[in-house]
Structures are given as structure tokens and as C-alpha cells.
Amino acid sequence: MNLTDEIHKRKTFAIISHPDAGKTTLTEKFLLFGGAIQTAGAVKSNKIKKAATSDFMEIEKQRGISVATSVMTFEYNGKLVNILDTPGHKDFAEDTYRTLTAVDSVILVIDCVKGVEEQTERLMEVCRMRNTPVIVFINKVDRDGRDPFDLLDELEKKLNIKVRPMSWPINGGREFKGVYKLYDKSINLFEANKTKISKDVVRIDDLNSPILDELIEKDADKLRHDVELIDGVYGEFNTDEYLEGTEAPVFFGSALNNFGVRELLEKFLEIAPFPQPRQSSDRIVSPEEIKFSGFIFKIHANLDPRHRDRIAFLRVCSGKFERNKFFHHVRLNKDMKFASPFTFMADSKALLEDAYAGDVVGLYDTGNFKIGDTLTEGEDYMYKGIPSFSPEIFKELINLDPMKSKQLEKGIEQLTDEGVAQLYRQEPGNRKFIGTVGELQFEVIQYRLENEYNARCRFEPRQFFKACWMTGEKQAIDDFCKFRHKNIVKDKDDNIVFLAETSWILNTAIQQNPKITFHTTSEFKI
């Protein structure tokens, strides 16, 4: 198989949603269809009866939420599918934003009872910034929820995107009978089944057929009326508009009961884009270029707590990645080779010999990588669009066990390398400030420090409004740092950062220091 064929075989996407919409459950059902797992564990009422395959960290299993991005690969109908299951909780939004830089399309899960929620809108804004193609899956239609037409109106209004139903629910809640597939005129009859694959499909060439009345009885006339209305209001599905990110096909189903998932998966594989060109600091890089390139979008310490390993997640962007071949680490300006790269199935791994554009490769890391690092076959460019954002909550890290200082130092270094929080150091005194976008991250960090590194700590709140990186005239920055020394820290790359206590203080600093530019993201470093 040549390079182009390998690229066209691959589909790499993220599943995003508000917490509890059913994202992790949907991921599991995809794996079930792909034969990657035999039975699915149900995620129900925030308690995992059998821990979800993609939630591998102990704290995720306890709380029933995803707090790290999982990567899973499987084959289905001749396609190689790479799924990135992202955290839904808003406190881990930054991890999700970075994950969206590593995918070519997105499946957005909506709870039919709750509709479009706040976090859904934020995630969609990021997709719109990148014109990422989006497919919507309206989940839990077997529960009493919102009217499907009302949900479509809300999607268009709140997410600022045109929608086109591809399947349609026959009744809902306790009266749910199944879905009618508008694109091939067939009906899937509903049968609650959490662990196996539903196969009951009936083709209806004519909605006026008496077979329809026999199948769904009193709901037949309503379905005929709904389909007529859909065709009149929404028109034909436009694949080009979907690929441009302006139109979203919509599917209805129940991930928990394995219903409507096959239709979603098969249509996704038919229309979703294969790996696309990417913008670097020098030029646009095509996936079909012969020479390899890729970037690190995530780092995870202790994927296997027994081995204290550290994994860098590499998105291949062009060419062919090969085991034991030397590649150029652009930031460090050195060549590296990888003896044991692997592919993922949540927490299980398989050694791989090669990978192509669209694939996600796990690399064992001894501290060489940071998020955003680029590997090439010799060229010195960096992939763009993977910034750190200014945190919203700041706390000082206090060591509760001086005998474990080395463990604490190593633990906080590795955990903040993962990108769930930012570490700032202040001298003299080696004070450590942690910045996050949500309170839950502190709980996760504290839990993991104690359970993975045997280090105990507490966090004391500090009143800062924004963290700002500074560029400009060196003398002006030096003078500002002397004047504001109590608010000056360094990030992990030794960049100088100003921690402003209030918006007024920040605005005043900007006005009084015209030779300094204050940045609220780290994108300026590229």
C-alpha cells in the first residue's frame, strides 16, 4: 500500500461534549463495533459498574468522569480509526483544546434531555476557530427529553452552525421505537441492549407502505409528517459544507443501549476527512509529503503506575514514522530514535513498526519533550496552534513532608508537563505557584502526587488575575521586573511571567510600559 492509500485509510477524530452527555460510553460502543472490546461497561449515574475502557486513571474510575485525553485505535470496514476521548469537565478544557489540534474532525455528543450546555458552546467555539468538521450525536433518546425539532433549532442558534438530520427518532422516552435513516430510507427498531450490537434493520422504499404501519403502528403518520417537514426545511445534506465546518449532520440514538451508533460510525467513516495539511511556522505541510513530521500534543506521566513511565503523544502530520529511525527534535536541535513506539487501546499498548499521517504514536519520554514540540526528518519548523493559556486560578504549593521533597519536585514537574496545570517558580526561596483553569485540577494533582509519587502537599490560594508572558526591550523588562519583583515568576521554559493581581493592575502595567508586550497565551514563543 503506497503513502497516499495509507493516508486515505485513516480517520482521526475527537469525541467532545458537556460532562455526562455520554461521550465515554459512545467511545466504548465504537470500540465494540470495531471488535476492540467484547462487552462494554456501563457508565451510569456517575458510578462505573465496570470501569469504562477509556477511563484508565484511578481517580477517573472513582469519580466516573474523564480527566485526561485517552487515545484508542481500531479497524472497521477497511478504515483505521483513531479516537481521542476528551475530558468533558470544564476544569480540563485546556487538555481538550490541545487535543482538537491533533484531530481532523469531531463528533459532538448532546444530551437530548439537557440540550446544548455551556461547555458544549465553548468547545464548539474552538472547532469554529479551526473550521473543524463536526457531526452531532443526540444521545439518550430513549429517555423523556426535548422535542427533536426544538433541539435542532437550539443547535443552530447556540452553536452558530447549520444542521441537517441524517436519522430521525420514532417517538421518544419510554415510547421510543427506533430511528429512521433519512439517507438510505431504512428503519432500525429499538431493543435495549447495553453490551451487544443491534442488527434489526428494515428497508422502507416508500414511507406510505403499509409495512411502516405494521412496524411502528400509531407513530407511522407522525414519522411521515416529520420526514416531509425535514426535507422541506433542511434540504439536502451538503458534504462540502460539512468538510468546511459550516454544516453539521445530526444523528439520534442511545449510546448506552448501543442504538444508532452503527449508523453514526459508518456515515462518519464515509464522509469524515482523512488527514489534512497543517500550518507550521514556515509553511503548510501536506500529509502526502515523503518526509516525516509530527508534533507532541499531550504528555502523560504514569500511564502504567507500576512502571512510572512517561508517555508523549505524537500526532503524525506527514510522511512515515518508523521505529528505530533517527528524527530531528527541532526545539532541542538534536536527533533521536525510538526503540519502542506504540499504538493505544486506552491503557493497553501494542508495539508498532511504522505510522502514517493521522496516526497517534506513544513515545516513551525521559524528559526530552514538552507539549508543542515538533519532530521532523531534518527541517527546522514548528507546528503552530498549541499554546498554553493564562490560568484562572492560582495557588501556592506547600510541601507537607520535607523528607519527600525530591518526590514532590519530580511529581509536580511531570504532572505539569502533561499540561493540566502550569508551574511557576519564584526566587529566592524556590516558591512554586500552580495555575489552572478549574478547582478540580488541584484535587487531581494532590491525589496523583500522593498515590503515584508518595508526596503530600496542600495548596494555598493566591489572588492573581492573569499570568502574562512578556516580550519587548530587554532593559524595559529588567526595570519592570525590579519594580514588580513580588509578582515576577518563571515558567517551565524559563520565560519571565508577570502575575497581575487585578485587571486594573494589568491595564496600568500595559499603559505605563509601552516597550513591553504582555501576552496571555504562550503562542508568541513560536
The tens digit of pLDDT for each residue in 148-164 reads: 999 999 999 999 999 99
Q: Is 157 exposed, middle or buried (0-12, 13-18, 19+ CB in 10 A)?
A: exposed
CATH number of the domain enclosing 284: 3.40.50.300
Decide if 383 is inside a domain.
no
Query: Are 509 and 447 found together in one domain?
Result: yes
- Look at residue 214 in the predicted model and tell me its pLDDT: 80
Average pLDDT over residues 25-45: 66
Choose between 64 and 428: higher pLDDT: 428
pLDDT tens sequence across 162-176:
999 999 998 888 888
Predicted confidence band of residue 42 (pLDDT cuts 50, 70, 90): very low
Decide if 105 is inside a domain.
yes
- For residue 6 the three cell numbers come to 495509507
Model pTM? 0.77
Query: Are 267 and 284 found together in one domain?
Result: no
- Look at residue 58 in the predicted model and tell me its pLDDT: 55
Contact (Cβ atoms closer than 8 angstroms) between residue 310 and residue 328: no
Query: Are 121 and 233 found together in one domain?
Result: yes
Predicted confidence band of residue 112 (pLDDT cuts 50, 70, 90): very high
* 350: DSSP letter: E
- For residue 390 the three cell numbers come to 493564562
> Across all residues in the chain, what is the average pLDDT?
84
Decide if 12 is inside a domain.
yes
CATH number of the domain enclosing 416: 3.30.70.3280
* 127: DSSP letter: H
- 411 has a pLDDT exceeding 80: yes
User: How far, in Å, CA of 525 to CA of 519, rounded?
Assistant: 10
* 96: DSSP letter: H
Contact (Cβ atoms closer than 8 angstroms) between residue 410 and residue 372: no
Query: Are 359 and 477 found together in one domain?
Result: no
Give the orientation angle of helix 23-33 with respect to helix 261-271, to 10 degrees. 80
Decide if 387 is inside a domain.
no
Decide if 17 is inside a domain.
yes
Strand 496-500 relative to strand 466-472: parallel, antiparallel, unpaired?
antiparallel
In terms of average pLDDT, the best of 103-112, 366-375, 412-421 is: 103-112
- 248 has a pLDDT exceeding 80: yes
- Strand segments, DSSP code E, in 419-525 are 422-426, 431-436, 457-462, 466-472, 488-490, 496-500, 516-519
Query: Are 13 and 135 found together in one domain?
Result: yes
> In which domain, by residue range, is 244 found?
3-271
In terms of average pLDDT, the best of 62-66, 77-81, 200-204 is: 77-81
Q: Which of 153, 101, 151, 109 is nearest to 127 (CA)?
A: 101
Decide if 386 is inside a domain.
no
In terms of average pLDDT, the best of 101-105, 198-202, 478-482 is: 478-482
Predicted confidence band of residue 250 (pLDDT cuts 50, 70, 90): very high
Query: Are 286 and 423 found together in one domain?
Result: no
User: How far, in Å, CA of 165 to CA of 147, rounded?
Assistant: 14
Decide if 385 is inside a domain.
no
Give the angle 116-122-126 at the CA atoms, nearest 5°.
125
Picking from 240, 271, 302, the residue at the C-terminal end of a domain is: 271
Choose between 261 and 192: higher pLDDT: 261
Q: How many domains does the chain have?
A: 3
Contact (Cβ atoms closer than 8 angstroms) between residue 3 and residue 320: yes
Strand 70-76 relative to strand 431-436: parallel, antiparallel, unpaired?
unpaired
Decide if 465 is inside a domain.
yes
Question: Which residues have C-beta within 8 Å of that of residue 179, sequence separation ≥ 6?
Answer: 141, 167, 168, 169, 170, 187, 188, 190, 251, 252, 253, 259, 260, 263
Choose between 299 and 491: higher pLDDT: 491
Query: Are 440 and 302 found together in one domain?
Result: no
Collapsing DSSP to helix, strand or coil, 144 comes out as coil
Tell me how crowded residue 316 is: count the other CB atoms within 10 A of its CB: 27
Contact (Cβ atoms closer than 8 angstroms) between residue 7 and residue 274: yes
- 266 has a pLDDT exceeding 50: yes
Picking from 271, 300, 331, the residue at the C-terminal end of a domain is: 271
- 257 has a pLDDT exceeding 70: yes
Picking from 326, 344, 376, the residue at the C-terminal end of a domain is: 376
Query: Are 403 and 347 found together in one domain?
Result: no
Query: Are 369 and 263 found together in one domain?
Result: no
pLDDT tens sequence across 194-232:
555 555 667 777 778 788 888 888 888 888 899 899 988
* pLDDT above 90: percentage of residues in the chain: 44
Find cell 509529503 and name the residue. 289
Average pLDDT over residues 475-504: 93
Query: Are 46 and 131 found together in one domain?
Result: yes
pLDDT tens sequence across 309-349:
678 889 999 999 999 999 999 999 999 999 999 887 645 67
Find cell 409528517 and name the residue. 225
Mean pLDDT lowest for which of 38-42, 142-146, 465-469, 495-499? 38-42
Question: Which residues have C-beta within 8 Å of that of residue 232, sequence separation ≥ 6?
Answer: none
Query: Are 56 and 199 found together in one domain?
Result: yes
- Look at residue 46 in the predicted model and tell me its pLDDT: 34
List residues bridging with 47 in a β-sheet: 44
